[in-house]
Chain A
Amino acid sequence: MDYYLNLINTIGIHTLLGLSAYVLLLTGQLSMAQAGFFAVGAYSASVLTVIFGWSILPAIGLAMLITGFLAFLVGFPALRVRGLMLVVATLAFGEFVRLFFHNFRWRVTQDGVEVGPDGTMGFSEIRYFAEHGWTSWEVASLIWIFVIIVMALIWWADQTRSGAVLRAVGEDELAAGTVGIDVTVVKVAAMTAGGVIAGLAGSLYAHQITMLDHHAFTVLLATFAIAYPILGGVSNVFGTLVAVIFIQGLLVEGLRFLGDWRMLLFGALIVVVMNLKPRGLFDSQTLRWIKNVLRLRLSRRLS
């Protein structure tokens, strides 16, 4: 049972990570920095609960603020580059963050035991849930409540004018500027929102997994983060969720018997999808088709 709960938690956390890249992708920014923001969220929330003894929710809240602020700062230099150059720049940032935590040591003694991040050795004993008697079901619920809240917020934002503005910038920056949209504000806002969501994902991840290691925040995680919305398409938030279930549930877990060969499938899958469905599995065409099928079924049942 715990195996499946862990898988469900991983899917939830990766959905949040994917959504953080989704928001950026709406404005046309392909960011490899999401793993970095994820790490910052993970470490800062854990430091708050372990060293400062904060309760989990305020710790997550402050971790989100910290990550958001960092993303806001990254947003400005990121404006100067686009396309491949943005990928390279954000990749560099992600590695910078990872190597920072690789060397980050902050040990304090609590009740005769040393706790805190320990450089290369990682940050272990993030025992908030265990200490406060949370069952694994409660942890999973917490994670999925956040997933549902974030998905609902993004879905809602997409119905508003602000959502249309984000997409307009992603479609054509120059045209967006000439209809009066402040492209700088929109792109930095998207970067900040993406940072906040990645920070949330990271802080949940840290407390669920109970130990952090810089190896968890490599380019592979950053690639996953952008693979989800690319695979799922940016027409709809549910595309990202489906992509996470597909990759984490089916490819990574379901095909575990293939060993490392399954990562090859992962790469091949992205190539295939990019060729067959350049706008993602759930592009507006597919969505329209699904809607029509549902409507047909419904009307048949009613008549």
Chain B
Amino acid sequence: MLEVKSLSKNFGGVKAVRELDLAVNAGDIFGVIGPNGSGKSTLVNLISGVFPATAGEILFQGQSLSSLSPHARVKAGVARTFQNIRLFPGLTVWQNLWVARNSAEDTRAEGISYRWFRKSGPVKNEIDAMLEFSGLADKGDELASSLAFGEQRRLELARAAATKPRLLLLDEPAAGMNHDEIRDLDKRIRQLRQQGMTIILIEHVMDLVMGITDRIAVLNFGSKIAEGEPAAIQENKSVQEAYLGQSDGD
């Protein structure tokens, strides 16, 4: 579904991502882990088109994404969330989801009649379902900025899902969450996969990553140092060294 081929990104002299190769299968939940500064967020930014790659290629369903702007990549079926939440704070919860529904079919469906006060029709039903999904059913008319932190995270996830992506990039969705919220998130990610989305999960919370992913790639200093199933990654020597430092044999 997604193929990343010898992808590199330099920021001045800093090589944030070097010669990275990845392949993600359709329907998988694919984990990307690594210590801080290993290039995980840069990878998400490159795939979602926030900034261009220095070299290399990103193929999504066989089509190269390199020349597409961020919004065109969403239309192609790639959506994302941000590590530091980026909602539209001055819009209501409802509007946050509304503006995200903008695939070609959506805009065609939303003729004048549905635009007017959104009182009925498939648009309302779908967005209500989204609100239900994110546990915000009774907060549709509140401003996004008035939501609690956990609610904002849920809304951002729902907003990304509202673009009806085939590939969803989650950049540390569990950051700052407590144990219950993480369990909730786990459930929601599985739900999204069931709806047919392929998911790339970037995360530091190992309980979540190890329990939910099908495959994991480990980055360190912008390069991939390991890839495999969760159990194998946990046993991997070079991964342990990257996280914990060289062992002195104890």
**Which residues on A are within 8 Å of B, measured CB to CB?**
159-162, 164-165, 167-168, 170-172, 174-184, 284
Contact = CB atoms under 8 A, between A and B. Distances in A.
Contacts of B163: 179-180
A160 B95 CA distance: 10
Interface in B49-97: 49-50, 69-72, 74-75, 79-80, 82, 86-91, 95-96
A298 B82 CA distance: 45
B115 interface: yes
Contacts of B100: 179-180
Interface of B: 48-50, 69-72, 74-75, 79-80, 82, 86-91, 95-96, 98-100, 102-103, 110, 115-117, 143, 159-160, 162-163
A170 B79 CA distance: 20
8 contacts: A164-B98, A167-B91, A177-B50, A178-B86, A179-B100, A179-B159, A179-B160, A182-B69
B74 A178 contact: yes
Nearest to A160: B115
Nearest to B48: A178
Contact of B69 (A160, A164, A177, A179): A177
B52 to A, nearest CB: 13
The 5 closest A-B pairs by CB, nearest first: A180-B74, A177-B70, A160-B115, A175-B86, A171-B88
Given A161-B98, A161-B115, A164-B95, A180 B71 contact: yes
Contacts of A162: 115
A170 B89 CA distance: 11
Contacts of A183: 71
Contact of B70 (A165, A168, A178): A178
A43 to B, nearest CB: 36
Contact of B50 (A168, A176, A178): A178
Nearest to B89: A171
A161 B110 contact: yes
Contacts of A164: 91, 95, 98-99
Contacts of B96: 168
B7 to A, nearest CB: 19
Contacts of B87: 172, 175
Interface of A (DSSP majority class) = helix
A153 to B, nearest CB: 13
A258 B88 CA distance: 44
Given A181-B99, A182-B71, A167 B90 contact: yes
Best-buried of B48, B89, B95, B159 by chain A (most CB within 10 Å): B95
A180 B103 contact: yes
Given A164-B99, A172-B86, 15 more contacts: A160-B116, A162-B115, A165-B102, A168-B99, A172-B88, A172-B89, A174-B50, A174-B86, A175-B86, A177-B69, A178-B70, A179-B74, A179-B100, A181-B71, A182-B69
A159 B70 contact: no
B75 A175 contact: no
A127 B71 CA distance: 50
Nearest to A284: B143
A175 B82 contact: yes
A123 B158 CA distance: 58
A160 B100 CA distance: 14
A25 to B, nearest CB: 12
Contacts of A174: 50, 70, 86
A184 B49 CA distance: 15
A181 to B, nearest CB: 6
A45 B3 CA distance: 57
A42 to B, nearest CB: 34
A178 B115 CA distance: 22
A284 B98 CA distance: 19
Nearest to B88: A171
Contacts of B162: 179
Best-buried of B99, B100, B115 by chain A (most CB within 10 Å): B99
Contacts of A167: 88, 90-91, 95
